[in-house]
Amino acid sequence: MFTAPKGTYDVLPERSGRWQRTLEALLAPAVRAGYRLVETPVFEETGVFLRVGEATDVVQKEMYTFEDKGGRSLTLRPEATAGVMRAAIEHHVDRGPLPWKVRYAGPMFRYERPQAGRYRQFWQVGIEALGVEDPAIDAEVVALGARAFEEVGLAGVTLLLNSMGDEACRPAYIETLRSYLRASAGRLCAECRARTETNPLRALDCKNPSCQDALALAPVLANHLCVPCHTHYDEVRGYLDALGVAWVEAPRLVRGLDYYRRTTFEFQHGGLGAQNAVGGGGRYDGLSESLEGPPLPGIGWSFGVERILLALESEGAEDTGRAVCEVYVIPLGAGAKPAVVTLVDELRRAGVHADMTFGDKGMKGAMKAADRSGAQVTLIVGERDLAEGVAQLKHMDTGEQYPVPLAEAATRAAAAAERDQAADDTVDPGQATETEDETE
Ligand code: HAM
Write the pLDDT tens digit of every residue in 340-393. 999 999 999 999 999 999 998 889 999 999 999 999 999 999 999 999 999 999
Report pLDDT for 433: 39
- How far, in Å, is the centroid of ligand 1 from the Cα of 424? 39
pTM of the model: 0.90
Atom of ligand 1 nearest to the CA of 256: 3
| Pocket flag, ligand 1, residue 138 (CB < 6 Å) | no
Phi, psi (5° rounding) for residue 345? -65, -40
| Pocket flag, ligand 1, residue 256 (CB < 6 Å) | yes
Cα angle: 365, vertex 321, 127; to 5 degrees: 145
Nearest 10 degrees: Cα torsion 187, 274, 128, 17: 170
Write the pLDDT tens digit of every residue in 284-305. 999 999 999 999 999 999 999 9
Report pLDDT for 107: 98
Report pLDDT for 258: 78
Comparison of pLDDT for 421 and 146, the residue scoring more: 146
The 3 state secondary structure assigned to 258-308 is CCCEEEEEEEEEHHHCCCCEEEEEEECCCHHHHCCCCCCCEEEEEEEHHHH
Write the pLDDT tens digit of every residue in 197-253. 988 988 888 888 998 898 888 999 989 999 999 999 999 999 999 999 999 999 989
> Residue 438: is its pLDDT beyond 70?
no
Comparison of pLDDT for 421 and 136, the residue scoring more: 136
CA separation for the pair 64, 45 (Å, rounded): 12
> Residue 155: is its pLDDT beyond 70?
yes
Report pLDDT for 58: 84
Supply the residue whose CA is at minimum distance from atom 21 of ligand 1: 118
Write the pLDDT tens digit of every residue in 81-99. 999 999 999 999 999 999 9
Residue in 51, 56, 59, 79 to alter for ligand 1 test, most ligand atoms within 8 A of Cβ? 79
| Pocket flag, ligand 1, residue 145 (CB < 6 Å) | no
User: How much of the chain is helix, strand and coil, in % rounded to 5?
Assistant: 45, 20, 30
For the segment(s) 13-169+225-314, the CATH number from 3.30.930.10, 3.30.479.30, 3.40.50.10190, 3.90.580.10 is 3.30.930.10
pLDDT-based confidence at 427, cuts 50/70/90? low
For the segment(s) 327-427, the CATH number from 3.30.420.40, 3.40.50.300, 3.90.1150.10, 3.40.50.800 is 3.40.50.800
CA separation for the pair 348, 344 (Å, rounded): 6
Report pLDDT for 323: 65
Residue type, 145: G
Report pLDDT for 385: 96
| Pocket flag, ligand 1, residue 40 (CB < 6 Å) | no
In the chain, where the domains are located? 13-169+225-314, 327-427
> Residue 430: is its pLDDT beyond 80?
no
> Residue 48: is its pLDDT beyond 60?
yes
Question: Of 150-159, 411-420, 430-439, which range is least confident?
Answer: 430-439
- How far, in Å, is the centroid of ligand 1 from the Cα of 126? 9
DSSP-based three-state secondary structure for 341: helix
Asked, colleague to colleague, whether 13-169+225-314 and 327-427 share their fold, the answer is no
Report pLDDT for 322: 65
pLDDT-based confidence at 432, cuts 50/70/90? very low
Supply the residue whose CA is at minimum distance from atom 18 of ligand 1: 118
Residue in 124, 141, 272 to alter for ligand 1 test, most ligand atoms within 8 A of Cβ? 124
Report pLDDT for 219: 93
Give the β-pairing of 43-45 and 64-67: unpaired
CA separation for the pair 375, 173 (Å, rounded): 63
Average pLDDT over residues 327-347: 96
What value does the mean pLDDT of the chain take?
A: 92
Q: How far is CA 78 from each of CA 29, 117, 124, 259, 369, rounded to the nearest angstrom?
A: 25, 16, 10, 14, 43
Supply the residue whose CA is at minimum distance from atom 17 of ligand 1: 118
Q: Could you tell me which residues come within 8 angstroms of residue 412 by beta carbon, excluding any fewer than 6 positions away?
A: 393, 404
